[in-house]
Chains A and B, each alone.
Chain A
Amino acid sequence: MFDTLSDRFDGIFKRLRGRGKLRDADVDEVLREIRLALLEADVNFAVVKDFQERVRERCQGTELHEALNPAQQVIKFVHEELIAILGGETMDIQFATKPPTVILMAGLQGSGKTTNSAKLARWFKQQGRNPLLVGADLQRPAAVEQLRTLGGQIDVPVFSEPSEPVTVARNCLGEATRLGRDVIIVDTAGRLSIDQALMDEIRDVSDAIEPHYTFLVIDAMTGQDAVTTAESFHHTLELDGVILTKLDGDARGGAALSVKEVVGRPIAFASTGEKLDDFDQFHPDRLAGRILGMGDMLTLIEKAEEVFEEDQAEAAAAKILEGQFTLEDFLEQMQALKKMGPLNNLLGMMPGVPKEVKDTEIDDKQVSRVEAIIHSMTPDERQRPEIIDGGRRQRIASGSGTRPSEVSQLLKQFKEMQKMMKRMGGLGTKKLKKKAKKKGKASRVTPPKKAQKAGLSLPGLGDEGFDLAALGDFDDLPGLK
């Protein structure tokens, strides 16, 4: 159901290749796809409409570069416009000149206010501050206990009393001074935006503490209603920013886009997991990619940078493209890759990978078997797997505790991969070629022009294939440096 936008574009743009400019009819078709993708990502209907118009303006009258295919260019427009809406900058938190800095947390029931109050406190603590958590959610049974437990886990004091939320809010200021805390985070009860009595109550809480920052906590899975909720809270409280929670699921988080567009306040923080340290400031460019279904490429690259040496990785990639990648190299790369986390997660972060492939369960134990098989080969066999005959295969199998058929299977897969990568070598990217050339390793390089034109189809990765050339184009996106 969630095809990526670039997959959707493929069909349209196949017909457009070689054409220098997009006709109005083509633009309409492209915009329909954009609309669908954004609506499926839960971006609000009205926001999508405006967005379409902006992209239309950019598409019309723009001469297409000959070097880029139209799909790449339109996706680039869309991505840029998304970032423009989301705001390119990470929010800068200013501390009050006269402490304490007061923060109010507001939101619907179940959006994650209590958990994220604690996460925020932990974040401030990391910044060298001394936060105080305030439990003003006296509505939900045991909400204050929950906050106390969380406060205990991060060693941050919690203030609350069984009175009224406004009283708690008023009294917490004195408590902060008494304890010498310089940041106060006030957790409040979840409330529906149409519940006037409770909205009045939170306004009173806000008036009592005069917060420096008021954050709306919003669940990344929220649908079209995000706009109504955000508008209503903004109207009552004047929000300063949004905390987007549960981003570790597979929701696209289009709600964030809607909220930003409607209330004009940035997404300040994002929560990406159940642990208290799965929380950080928000990077708009990453969400733009996610909404478009481009996978979490940036995270992928960051993880890769942690485990791969740049030079080695480049050398390996050049070898892959030339078909000179040996089982030895393969083993090395696979071991590095394993450090990046379970393969299934990596696959999920890859842009353009069809859903069927993403859904494939990859058992990391299988990977260990592959490792065992290669470990049981002699160096000579790893360099030249073609010398492996029946006898050697038997030996490798018993050495690695596998069956000979599994050894054959691996060799077959490896050979196929080599063939496939060689084909890709013909299509590979200019940049990579240049680098490879500098190293004097690329001897058989096909002219890169072909690469620009042809969308690349990887056997085994579904019919849609995936367009490496298009990916190359994202090199210059912010955050990718």
Chain B
Amino acid sequence: MDLLIVILIVVAVLVVAGVGFVVSRGRGAPEAPAGEPAVAPPEAADVDVAIEPEATAPVEEAVLEAPVTFVSRLGKARSALSGYLGSIRSRSVDAQTWDELEEALILADLGVETTTRVLDDVREQARVDGVTDPSVAIEMVKSRLKDELGGRDVSLDANGSPAVWLFVGVNGVGKTTTIGKLGAREVGAGRTVVMAAGDTFRAAAGEQLELWADRSGAQIVRGAEGADPSSVIFDGIAHAAAIGADLVMADTAGRLHTKSNLMEELRKVKRVAEKGEGVVAEVLLVLDATTGQNGLIQARQFTEAVDVTGVVLTKLDGSAKGGIVMAIQSDLGIPVKLVGLGEGAHDLIEFDADQFVEALFETV
């Protein structure tokens, strides 16, 4: 069939029925927000509250493990300033220097827009200052990036009884694993933690979280597969409040930000969680460091839906640099709070802008 015919008809129909009609209506008379659907009291029947024995002893491996830092982790795999930046240093600053810096930043997934914005500024400043030493130019770029990324409060808000941390993100970024690791950290810090297995969609997601709960000494509240995630999380909060726990870590199923029904479900999860006895203190977007430019769109959509308070950047121990968080922070103002640097329970650490930026310029 001729493409044009299809397009003509689609356009005609959209213009009349869809876009035009809705746009003009939408602007003229904004629809009253749909009345908050009364939150059905979560049915106790489909939620199985598995109360773990008071296992508060931190896992052994955790005690033995040395504290992980960016440097100790990344040092294994990366040698600083090798590769292309090595060659930059041997010349004086010229157009090629800036091209190579551009390449480095784009390869780190900062994106063309952020890269150009940063480099244009620094380049102008270098010209004014009469910089000829490439090392100085590199340091200028680094300090500019550190300034932009740094200075943010990366601590997690644990106020509320219990405080609820909601973990959201697309599929496969490591939400469940992040909760497992963070749970181990918080239990280790002497907090009572309840994990709520809100991923009732993916096969065996609940089992996966339960294994983490066992390992870390947290309690877990699970629902049946296919149960309403809102009610599972609501029950998790209720259980935490009943036992006087400090923290609820609520897992959710991975969802692509383009699926409007699933994003709606997520909105509901948050609304319902807010009706519980605790306080939704953090909504953490878990983002895979390998993610490219789509990461910004993800962050925007998730923030629009559930007001993300921070980013957890996972899998940063691989060869990917996670540079998209620059754009996320500058465009949306959402700071990176935690980074995942490995598979062990203690490989999740607080974000450090200086070390992150240094790592951007390193090659594997």
Q: What is the interface of chain A, defined by CB distance below 8 A to chain B?
A: 1, 36, 39-42, 44-45, 108-112, 139-143, 145-146, 148-150, 153, 192-194, 219, 221-226, 228-229, 232, 246, 248-252, 254-255, 274, 297, 300-301, 304-305, 308, 310, 313-314, 316-317, 320-321, 325, 330, 333-334, 337, 343-344, 346-347, 350, 357, 360-363, 366-367, 370, 406, 409-410, 413-414, 416-417, 420-421, 424, 428-429, 431-432, 458, 460-461, 468, 471-472, 474-475, 480
Out of B12, B17, B212, name the residue touching A320 (CB < 8 Å): B12
Q: Which residue of B lies closest to A111 (CB)?
A: B172
Does A110 lie within 8 Å of B174, measured CB to CB?
yes
Indicate which residue in B4, B13, B26, B225 contacts A333 across the interface (CB closer than 8 Å): B13
A222, B292: Cα distance in complex, Å: 5
Give me the 10 closest cross-chain CB pairs, A-B, nearest first. A223-B292, A110-B172, A149-B203, A42-B292, A225-B320, A146-B204, A141-B211, A142-B207, A145-B204, A251-B294
Contact, CB under 8 Å: B292 / A304: no
Contact for B203 among A150, A297, A320, A429, CB less than 8 A: A150
B319 near A413 with CB under 8 A, answer no
- Looking at the complex, which one of A40, A141, A254 makes contact with B207 (CB distance below 8 Å)? A141
B319 near A192 (CB under 8 angstroms)? yes
Confirm or deny: B7 has a beta carbon within 8 angstroms of a beta carbon on chain A. yes
B-side interface residues toward A, CB under 8 Å?
Answer: 1-26, 77, 103, 106-109, 111-113, 170-174, 177, 180, 201-205, 207-208, 210-212, 225, 256-260, 288-298, 315, 317-321, 323-324, 343, 364
- CB closest residue in chain A, given B20: A413
Chain B contacts for A254, CB-based, 8 A = 292
Note all chain B residues with C-beta closer than 8 A to A229.
290, 318-319
Consensus secondary structure, chain B interface: helix
Pairwise interchain contact A313-B12, C-beta atoms closer than 8 A: no
Contact status A223-B109, CB under 8 Å: yes
Cβ of A292 to closest chain B Cβ, rounded Å: 15
Q: How far is the CA of A427 from the CA of B290 in the complex (A)?
A: 45
Beta-carbon nearest neighbor of B169 in chain A: A110
Residues in A whose Cβ lies below 8 Å from that of B297? 1, 250
Which residue of A219, A305, A310, A409 has the most chain B CB atoms within 10 A of its CB atom?
A219
Q: Say how far B300's CB is from chain A's closest CB, in angstroms.
A: 10
- Determine how close the nearest CB of chain B comes to the CB of A443; give it in whole angstroms: 18
A109–B174 CB distance below 8 A? yes
Q: With the chains together, A221 CA to B141 CA distance in Å? A: 27
Contacting residues, chain A, for B113 (C-beta < 8 A):
1
With A222-B290, A370-B17 known as contacts, the answer to whether A300 contacts B6 (CB < 8 A) is yes
Inter-chain contact B319/A225, CB cutoff 8 Å:
yes
Tally the A-B contacts, defined by beta carbons under 8 Å: 271
Contact across chains for B292 and A221 when beta carbons are under 8 A apart: yes
Q: Is the CB of B172 within 8 A of A219?
A: yes
Given the known interface contacts A360-B22, A366-B18, the answer about A304 and B1 at a Cβ–Cβ threshold of 8 Å is yes
Whether A475 and B3, one on each chain, are in contact in the complex, defined by CB atoms closer than 8 angstroms, is: yes
- Contact partners of B177 in chain A: CB under 8 A: 140
State whether A224 touches B17 (Cβ < 8 A): no
User: Can you name 20 A-B pairs with beta carbons within 8 Å?
Assistant: A39-B106, A40-B111, A42-B109, A139-B343, A146-B202, A149-B204, A194-B317, A221-B298, A222-B292, A225-B318, A225-B320, A249-B258, A250-B297, A333-B9, A334-B17, A350-B7, A360-B22, A413-B15, A413-B24, A468-B4
Residues from chain A with Cβ under 8 Å of B18 in the complex: 343, 347, 360, 362, 366-367
Q: B6 touching A110 by the CB < 8 A rule?
A: no
A292 to B177 alpha-carbon distance, docked (Å): 35
Docked CA distance A223–B313 (Å): 14
Q: How far does the Cβ of B356 sit from chain A's closest Cβ, in whole Å?
A: 16
Residue with the highest number of chain A CB atoms closer than 10 Å, among B173, B258, B290, B323:
B290
Instruction: Specify which chain A residues have a CB less than 8 angstroms from the CB of B77 in the assembled complex.
Output: 194
In the complex, what residues of B have CB within 8 A of residue A139's CB?
A: 343
For the complex formed, measure the closest distance between the CB of A278 and the CB atoms of chain B, giving whole angstroms.
12
Known: A362-B14, A366-B25. 7 other contacts (CB 8 A): A143-B208, A219-B172, A219-B291, A221-B290, A223-B324, A246-B256, A249-B256
Chain B residues contacting A474 (CB-CB under 8 Å) are 3
Beyond A108-B290, A414-B16, is A308–B9 a contact (Cβ under 8 Å)? yes
**Closest Cβ neighbor of A477 among chain B residues:** B3
Do residues A409 and B293 form an inter-chain contact, with CB atoms below 8 A? Answer: no
Least CB separation from A414: chain B residue: B16
Are B294 and A249 neighbours in the complex by a CB distance under 8 Å?
A: yes
Alpha-carbon separation in the docked complex, A200 to B1 (Å): 51
Is the pair A330, B13 in contact by a Cβ cutoff of 8 Å?
yes
User: When chains A and B are docked, how far (Å) is the Cα of A153 from the Cα of B201?
Assistant: 13
Q: Are A225 and B290 in contact (CB under 8 A)?
A: yes
Q: How far is the CB of A279 from chain B (nearest CB, A)?
A: 14
A301 in contact with B3 given A250-B258, A317-B9, A363-B22 (CB within 8 Å): yes
Taking a contact as CB atoms under 8 Å apart, the answer to whether B22 and A361 are in contact is yes
Q: Which residue of A lies closest to B78 (CB)?
A: A194
Closest residue of chain B to A140 (Cβ to Cβ) is B208
Q: A142-B204, A249-B170, A468-B4 are in contact. Are A219 and B290 (CB under 8 A)?
A: yes
B9 touches A320 (CB 8 A): yes
Q: Which of B8, B201, B256, B293 contacts A321 (CB under 8 A)? A: B8
Min CB gap A406→B, angstroms? 8
The answer to whether A109 touches B258 (Cβ under 8 A) is no
The closest CB in chain B to the CB of A254 belongs to B292
Question: A460 to B17, alpha carbons, bound, how many Å?
Answer: 13
In the complex, what residues of A have CB within 8 A of residue B103's CB?
45
Inter-chain CA distance A149–B206, complex, in Å, is: 12
Q: Which residues of B contact A310 (CB under 8 A)?
A: 1
Kindly identify which residue among A44, A140, A432 contacts B4, using a CB–CB cutoff of 8 Å: A432
A317 to B8, Cβ gap below 8 A?
Answer: yes
